[in-house]
Chains A and B, each alone.
Chain A
Amino acid sequence: MSTHRGFVRHGAHGWSDYFTFNTDHKVIGVQYLVSTLLFFLYAGLLALVIRFELLDPAPTLNANAYNAAFTLHGSVMIFLFVIPVMAGFANYLIPLMIGADDMAFPRLNALSFWLLMLGGLIIVSGNFLGPANTGWTAYAPLSLQAPDGQTLWAIGVIIIGTSSTMGAINFLVTIGTLRAPGLTLLRLPLFCWGMISTSLMVVLATPVLTTAMALLVLERVAEMTFFAAARGGDPLSWQNLFWFYSHPAVYIMILPAMGLISEILPVFSRKPIFGYRAIAASSMAIAVLGFLVWAHHMFTTGMDPSVQAAFMVTSMIIAVPTGVKIFNWIGTMWGGVLDLRTPMLFAIGFIGMFVIGGLSGITLGSVPVDTHVHDSYYVVGHLHYVLFGGSVLAIFGAFYFWFPKITGKMYDERLGKLHFWLTIVGFTLTFFPMHWLGLQGMPRRVVAYAEEFQRTNQLISLGAFILALGVLPFLYNMVVSWMRGAQASSNPWSALTLEWQTSSPPPIGNFDTPPIVTHGPYDYGRPLLPREAAAD
């Protein structure tokens, strides 16, 4: 491919290539990772605005501004950080992990990235029109009343959803057709299995979201009727369509994270992953079950009790494949030689925190308990245990783990550990007390609250400030280590997956000689001594 065709480029020859319509999967991967990280910082600052407001039970900000802040916080974190940052890792890693020279559709790949930027720009520019202020869930008919920014928000989500769908098709075709000789499906790194299950969900669920958004836009600008009850529409249709995508989206955000964890743990345990097939199969099970639980977000809408019970059972069953993964990860560590470097700390932190989110998730699945805590701070606590304690910790771990591969430099281990401990302490102070607040009766999405909750809210805000502080050593580490870090070898962690079998960073085209795979991705560990083998 020619490297100079105006704005269309292939490969990074200098920094300016990162600002072009570049068709190299590694460039696109870095474009995704860096830009989604900027969105993370933006949405994180919005979270600080929220926590600043809630220091005091009386409103400080204008309520509309506050509503806009949490709307944008949620939307940007979900649509512009957690979901696409996974596409960033997948873009960078999948071709390397399967021994390919690029993605199956490089130009489609570049298009997905630039559509994401366009969608993000449209959502953020809604701020200047009167921002969307109805939460990331945009329930109708409230979202029909919202200012014009809501229309831009919905258009932005449609474009981002399209980008996401294109990416998913690309990942599926790439893994399906471009694997190196010898790389059978059961030798695929588990991150690839995570992306297969995620991409299937994206392909099947995202069109429903984009349809819902298109209907919302049409109802807002062309006065067609879909959701407004007063004109004969049905507001619950919005909820059904929205959650038909957005509950699977929870798994779209966590399955890749689980894949990242499954890469990190065996390397730093110096042991094969425990129960490879079970972990891969549980990802697929979650991808299927994930489509059967959406109505658990609607238990309080006057649903028939038999329907409630059915969705309760499916929601609770998801805990089983999730539990399988957690036990298998601990099984991976058991009997290993654990190297507690920063990526490993984040992986262990993920297991420890995600378990709490999983357990509170089971209580939320139970209809009678949900009747009390639905739309309360209990849910806010739960979802952050899953999304931050789960996805974001895995993302941090992955940034450190593949930093040497992507940049060719080593990060600073001490700063990494500082980041980890500030994060765990800040995270726990922020999100654990929220469960109590919810049980006690504090609803979510409120600019003002009962005075009895002030102490707890101040503690939570303190936690959030610590959490934010922890991001500083991370950023400093990433930027300064990239500029001045020690040179990284091609395989600093002695890892077995293919991305480590080429230089750091890999050349354009990835491998000087096309790899042939002769073993599994996690064949770590010394051979068993005869005595142990007999005992096994």
Chain B
Amino acid sequence: MSETHQPQGIHRSAGPGAALFTLLVLGAGILVGRYVNLMPPAASLEAAMIDRLFSIMLGIAFAIFVLVEGVLLYAVLRFRRRKGHGGEGLPIHGSNRLELAWTFIPALLVFWLSAVSAQVIFRLDAMPQDPLRVRVVARQFSWQFEYPEHGVTSPDLNVPVGQPVVLELISMDVIHSFWVPAFRLKEDALPMRETRLNFTASAVGEYPVVCAELCGVGHAQMRARVVVMNPDAFYIWLTEDNG
């Protein structure tokens, strides 16, 4: 790059510097998308789908971040006013080619991201075969889990690993929101209107259930656990210990 006091035209070919920067942008995006994991351990099949989608978006977002912040910083360093230089910039009012490019490329990108996301939406919504049905009753400020086919009620959500579960959520008072961060899933519990959430737990263990919708003075304490068990242990619990 030539360092003169007169700024150069916007269409001037940037050469190897620009090529290197493009590589940096793409490389940063790919590396972050592949190797950076900001999520807690995943414990459902749905989490795997959502994490993959988030990683793609994170990679793309990081590439755009590096691109924009890089160009911005470079512009600040290269075009800042030097001492004793009181001149004006170039009278460039725009460039149709560039503006079309930075309209249509992002548009294609968001349509593609929408399409990829939409696939996941419909897969998450698909009703599973032979699910275990659990009724989730939310109230200020507790969760209650009912297994209607077995007449069992529990303060924690116990589920077998690997078997699809359908939660039917209802609130007895205000709006609550059932969130299991390890499952990446959340669904509101509404008064007088049932909502549904499907998942299949994929890792044995205990995970927090939190209320995500402000529901009053005890909102922060409205917590429970999901206990993902081996199917044998689960059915023993369901038929013998029953809460």
Contact = CB atoms under 8 A, between A and B. Distances in A.
B110 A316 contact: yes
Q: Which of B94, B187, B192, B215 has the most CB of A within 10 A?
A: B94
A441 B194 CA distance: 24
B68 A363 contact: no
Contacts of B238: none
Nearest to B123: A368
Contact of A316 (B93, B95, B113): B113
Interface string A305-340: 100110011001101100110111011011111111
Interface in B192-224: 192-196, 208, 210-221
B157 to A, nearest CB: 16
Given A275-B99, A338-B81, A348-B76, A525 B218 contact: no
Q: Which 3 A-B pairs have the closest CB atoms?
A: A441-B181, A525-B91, A271-B89
Interface of B: 7-12, 38-40, 49-50, 53-54, 57-58, 61, 64-65, 68-69, 71-72, 75-76, 79-81, 85, 87-95, 98-99, 102-103, 106-107, 110-111, 113-114, 117-118, 120-122, 124-125, 173-175, 177, 179, 181-182, 184-188, 190-196, 208, 210-221
A63 B64 CA distance: 40
A229 interface: yes
A335 B9 contact: yes
Contact of B89 (A63, A335, A446): A335
Contact of B174 (A142, A319, A375): A142
B11 A333 contact: no
Contact of B87 (A308, A317, A337, A536): A337
Interface stretch (A211-219, A252-260, A351-359, A508-516): A351-359
Contacts of A445: 214, 219
A351 B118 CA distance: 30
Contacts, number: 288
Interface in A275-327: 275-278, 300-302, 305, 308-309, 312-313, 316-317, 319-320, 323-324, 326-327
A317 B110 contact: yes
Interface of A: 59, 63-64, 67, 133-135, 139, 141-142, 145, 229-230, 235-236, 269-278, 300-302, 305, 308-309, 312-313, 316-317, 319-320, 323-324, 326-328, 330-331, 333-340, 348, 351-352, 355-356, 359-360, 362-363, 366-369, 371-372, 374-376, 435-436, 439-441, 443-450, 523-528, 532, 535-536
Given A64-B217, A278-B99, A336-B79, A300 B177 contact: yes
A239 to B, nearest CB: 9
A371 B123 CA distance: 14
Contacts of A134: 214
A337 B89 contact: yes
Contacts of A316: 110-111, 113-114
Contacts of B196: 302
A372 B185 contact: yes
B190 A302 contact: yes
Given A271-B91, A441-B40, A302 B181 contact: no
Contacts of B103: 278, 320, 323-324
A272 B113 contact: no
B224 to A, nearest CB: 13
Contacts of B93: 272-276
Contacts of A326: 68
A362 B61 contact: yes
A293 B241 CA distance: 48
Given A337-B87, A348-B76, A447-B220, A368 B120 contact: yes
